[in-house]
Copies of this chain bind each other. A is one copy, B any other.
């Protein structure tokens, strides 16, 4: 029996999709769809904001990028880095430092399981004023 129902999206290879993938491989920090669109436009790429939204969304669904919602309620995306970590953010200049804390991970998982929760994940952001401010 030939495979009949197209399981996932065949995902056609387009210039725009390639551009978004390229940007996301380069960037280390979380960026909103709009920021990525601006960068692409700045690079001379012709691409619509809608397409950026749609592409990032499908990349997130496919697990190719991490997605989070900023304090302002905007979605931000970043290529999946190896390993789980959190962000230390300067509330004056926005500088970001990646930090890891195995103890925190374990604590979060344990406390969740003690409360009967499964498939546990967590979000942690630390805010402060960095040395230059």
**For window 92-133 of chain A, which residues contact chain B by CB distance below 8 Å?**
97, 99, 101, 103-104, 107-108, 111-112, 115-131
A125 partner residues in chain B, CB cutoff 8 A: 122-124
- A71 interface hit (Cβ, 8 Å): yes
CB of B123 within 8 A of CB of A119, answer no
User: B111 contacts A88, CB within 8 Å?
Assistant: yes
Choose among B103, B104, B121, B124 the residue that contacts A123 (Cβ–Cβ < 8 A): B124
A73 CB–B CB distance under 8 Å? yes
CA distance A19 to B71 in the complex (A): 28
Known: A69-B69, A71-B69, A73-B73. A115 touches B127 (CB 8 A): no
Q: What residues of chain A have their CB less than 8 Å away from a CB belonging to chain B?
A: 69, 71, 73, 75, 88, 90, 97, 99, 101, 103-104, 107-108, 111-112, 115-131
